[in-house]
């Protein structure tokens, strides 16, 4: 299936991308792809190093006569988000991504594609393997575990990189030069709840919300897509105004940085109220399908009797948990006052698991400004502490403060106008890039982020645009050739 992708232009990019996608590389399971990259550098005869955390650095000398150019660090992350459609049979731990071409797009068969950040990694590999490019000294930095904690960037040894400029190739819109990004922090609330035997007159029902679009919890949060966890908690509060509906289990979402696409649950209800509850589910489905008709047109609810369970949540704990989930913040909190249309602060209710006497709720909060990030984190903390939950925070990383006077920005603006015939869009994004973190230990680097067009990252609808990838490669080559000399 992926063979046709290898014939796309530029072949050097698409073949490296195809090679990379044959290697399982989920976050925190990156040993194989790290070894793949070590083997790649060593086979080229280039200096290749891996640090203790799993970052890989490959160094390529300058083209003869260009040794006085400023040193360039080409940077991308090796891991990818693993998401698949519910009906897709696929083992991310053993199988390579199955790609195909659909018009001007490369897509994957029912899974994430890995273009985030595989195309950026493939571009760096193309520079390293090419014998006819003109460039100054090159360092290619392939970081570990970007998607679930920025672990590689956070643990870079001070002074490990010797270059002057860092080109992060993890931006997903052609024509955009990114000079800033949001920081983030993870929050987890844990609550031990009580259960009791289900009365004989109560029946067990399966209640599932599926078909949501999902997407990147940073780049897509402003699109107002449905969050399966929020929709189910909303319905449970509504249902309990009419009946005694008890939770048995609740499992929604999977990754902290992906908008939850589906949730499955078991509930109990007095059998005498089953028909009325079924009617309420149907009515609610109609309401939310209308609300989300433009963002999640395939949204639907499954509701049916299920095999009887032995216990359900006590009434007191049931109301505590569903009310807390219903009240939990989710989505855009504040828009930026510096960039039109840019989200400043948001949070994603990414994961809910309620079963076997324990509730776990996970959030990823993002902000380009530190104080609102902490404020929203504290609001979540306060809410769940009110029901007696234990709340913990971790994985905090800083934003990347824009520098409109950056020298590499000035250079790339000029090159962009020459190459594309138009001015680039200079912006910041509401997603996590590693630039701000890397700057803490490599302060000499002047940084910018750019890349080809990728849509729907972190979802099985992820796709990479073919024409922009070809132009991205041409633009990158010209940048490397025209990088200024050292002073």
Contact residues for 382 (Cβ-Cβ < 8 A; gap 6+)? none
Residue 102's DSSP bridge partners are: 105
Distance CA 439, CA 428 (A): 16
Which two tokens mark 52? 């203790």
Q: Is 95 a catalytic residue?
A: no
Distance CA 126, CA 76 (A): 13
Q: Identify the DSSP state of 272.
A: G
CA atoms within 13 A on the CB side of 163: 31
Q: Is 4 a catalytic residue?
A: no
SS3 state of residue 112: coil
- Choice among 145, 146, 172, 362 that is catalytic: 146
Residues 370 and 399: beta-carbon distance below 8 Å: yes
Q: Which residues in 319-349 are b (16+ Cβ under 10 Å) and which e?
A: bbbbbbbeebbbbbbeebeebeebbbbbbbb
**Tokens 């983030």 belong to residue:** 184
DSSP string, 292-314: TTTT-TT-EEEEEE-PPPSEEE-
245: part of which helix (H) or strand (E)? none
Distance CA 84, CA 210 (A): 13
Residues 178 and 428: beta-carbon distance below 8 Å: yes
Residues 245 and 299: beta-carbon distance below 8 Å: no
User: Which residues are the active-site residues?
Assistant: 79, 146
């Amino acid at each position: 299936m992926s063979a046709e992708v290898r014939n796309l232009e530029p072949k050097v990019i698409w073949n490296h991308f195809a090679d990379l996608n044959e290697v399982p590389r989920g976050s925190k399971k990156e040993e194989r792809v790290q070894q793949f990259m070590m083997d790649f550098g060593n086979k080229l005869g280039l200096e290749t190093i891996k640090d203790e955390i799993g970052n890989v650095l490959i160094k390529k000398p300058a083209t003869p006569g260009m040794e006085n150019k400023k040193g360039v660090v080409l940077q991308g992350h090796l891991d990818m988000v693993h998401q698949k459609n519910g009906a897709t049979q696929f083992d991310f731990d053993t199988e390579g991504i199955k790609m195909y071409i659909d018009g001007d797009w490369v897509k994957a068969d029912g899974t994430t594609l890995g273009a985030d950040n595989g195309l950026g990694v493939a571009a760096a590999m193309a520079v390293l393997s090419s014998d006819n490019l003109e460039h100054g000294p090159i360092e290619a930095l392939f970081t570990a575990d970007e998607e679930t904690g920025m672990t590689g960037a956070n643990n870079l040894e001070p002074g490990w990189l010797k270059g002057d400029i860092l080109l992060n190739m993890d931006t997903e819109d052609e024509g955009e030069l990114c000079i800033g990004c949001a920081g983030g922090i993870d929050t987890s609330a844990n609550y031990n709840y009580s259960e009791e035997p289900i009365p004989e007159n109560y029946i067990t029902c399966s209640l599932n919300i599926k078909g949501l679009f999902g997407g990147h919890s940073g780049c897509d949060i402003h699109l107002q897509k449905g969050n399966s966890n929020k929709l189910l908690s909303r319905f449970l509060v509504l249902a309990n105004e009419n009946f005694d509906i008890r939770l048995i289990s609740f499992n929604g979402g999977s990754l902290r940085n992906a908008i939850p696409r589906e949730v499955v649950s078991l509930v109990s209800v007095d059998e005498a109220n089953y028909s009325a509850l079924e009617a309420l589910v149907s009515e609610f489905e109609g309401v939310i399908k209308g609300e989300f008709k433009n963002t999640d047109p395939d949204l639907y609810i499954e509701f049916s009797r299920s095999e009887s369970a032995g216990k359900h949540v006590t009434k007191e704990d049931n109301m505590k948990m569903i009310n807390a989930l219903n009240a939990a913040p989710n989505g855009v909190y504040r828009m930026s006052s510096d960039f039109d249309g840019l989200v400043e602060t948001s949070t994603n209710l990414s994961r809910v698991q309620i079963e076997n006497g324990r509730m776990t709720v996970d959030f990823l909060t993002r902000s380009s400004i530190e104080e609102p990030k902490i404020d929203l984190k504290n609001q979540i903390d306060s809410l769940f502490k009110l029901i007696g939950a234990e709340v913990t925070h971790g994985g905090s990383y800083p934003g990347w403060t824009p520098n409109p006077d950056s020298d590499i920005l000035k250079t790339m603006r000029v090159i962009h106008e020459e190459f594309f015939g138009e001015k680039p869009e200079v912006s910041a994004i509401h997603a996590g890039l590693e630039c701000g973190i890397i700057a803490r230990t490599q302060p000499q680097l002047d940084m910018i982020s750019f890349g080809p067009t990728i849509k729907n990252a972190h979802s099985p609808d992820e796709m990479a645009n073919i024409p922009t990838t070809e132009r991205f490669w041409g633009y990158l080559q010209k940048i490397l050739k025209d990088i200024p000399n050292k002073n």
